[in-house]
Structure 1
Amino acid sequence: MTDFQTDLALISDAAKAAGELAMRHFRQDPKVWWKEGNSPVSEADYAVDDLLKKILLEARPGYGWLSEEMQHADLRDVGSDRFFVVDPIDGTRAFLRGEDTWCVSVAVVENGRPVAGVIAATALGEHFEVSADTPTRLNGVVCAVSSPGPADALRLAVPDSMRKRLQEAGGDTVLLEKAVPSLAYRLALVAAGRIDGTLVRPRANDWDIAAADLLIERAGGLLSDRHGDASLYRSHGKRHGLLVASSLGAQDRVRRLAAVIPDRTEEI
Structure 2
Amino acid sequence: MSDTDNRWQSDLALIADAAKQAGAVALGFFNKSPEVWWKNEERSPVSAADFAANEKLETILRRARPNYGWLSEETDDDAGRLEHETLFIVDPIDGTRAFLAGKDLWCVSVGIVHRGRPVAGVLYAPALDELYEAVEGGAALKNGEPISVSTRGEADLSQLAVSEELFKLLPAAVRERSERVKHVPSLAYRIAMVADGRLDATFVGRNAHDWDIAAADLILERAGGCLVDLTGRPATYNREKVSHDALCATPITRLQEYLDLLTQLRDG
| Residues in 1 aligned to 2:63 and 2:95: alpha-carbon distance in whole angstroms | 27
Amino-acid identity (%): 48
Deviates more, 1:77-86 or 1:56-65: 77-86
Which deviates the most, 253-262 or 105-114? 253-262
- 1:159 lines up with 2:154 in the alignment: no
Give the secondary-structure state (helix, strand or coil) at the position aligned to 1:146: coil
- Is contact 2:81-2:87 (8 Å) kept? no
2:98 is aligned with 1:67: no
Letter in 1 for 2:65: R
The aligned residue for residue 246 of structure 2 is 242
Residues 1:103 and 1:159: Cα distance change in structure 2 (over 3 Å): farther
Amino acid at match of 1:139: N
**Over aligned residue pairs, what C-alpha RMSD do you find?**
1.7
Tell me how far 1:105 sits from its aligned partner: 0.3
> 2:96 aligned to 92, 99, 112, which one?
92
Query: Which runs of structure 1 show a deviation greater than 4 angstroms over 4 or more consecutive aligned residues?
Result: 260-263
Deviations 1:119-145 (A, max 9, x none): 001101110000002100000000000
Give 1:262 deviation, angstroms: 4.8
Q: Confirm or deny that 1:221 pairs with 2:225.
A: yes
DSSP-derived class of the 1:78 partner? helix
Give 1:167 shift. Answer: 6.5
TM-score by length of structure 2 reads 0.93
* Alignment of structure 1 residues 1-268 onto 2, 5 Å: 2-35=6-39, 36-72=41-77, 74-166=78-170, 168=172, 170-234=174-238, 236-259=240-263, 262=266
Using the alignment, how far apart are the partners of 1:184 and 1:55 within structure 2? 22
State the match for 1:266 in structure 2.
none
What is the distance in 2 between the residues matched to 1:54 and 1:235? 24
Unaligned runs of at least 5 residues, structure 1:
264-268
Alpha-carbon separation, structure 1, partners of 2:248 and 2:123: 19
**CA displacement, residues 68-122 of structure 1 (integer Å, 9 cap, x when unaligned):** 01225x3454311210000000000010001110000000000100000000011
TM-score, with normalisation over the residues of structure 1? 0.93
Distance 1:194 1:85, change over 3 A: same
Measured in 2, the distance between the counterparts of 1:167 and 1:43 equals 44
Separation in 2 of the partners of 1:161 and 1:141? 36
Across the two proteins, how many residue pairs are aligned to each other?
Answer: 262
Runs of 5+ consecutive residues of structure 2 not aligned to the other structure: none
Please state how far the C-alpha of 1:260 moved relative to its aligned partner: 5.3
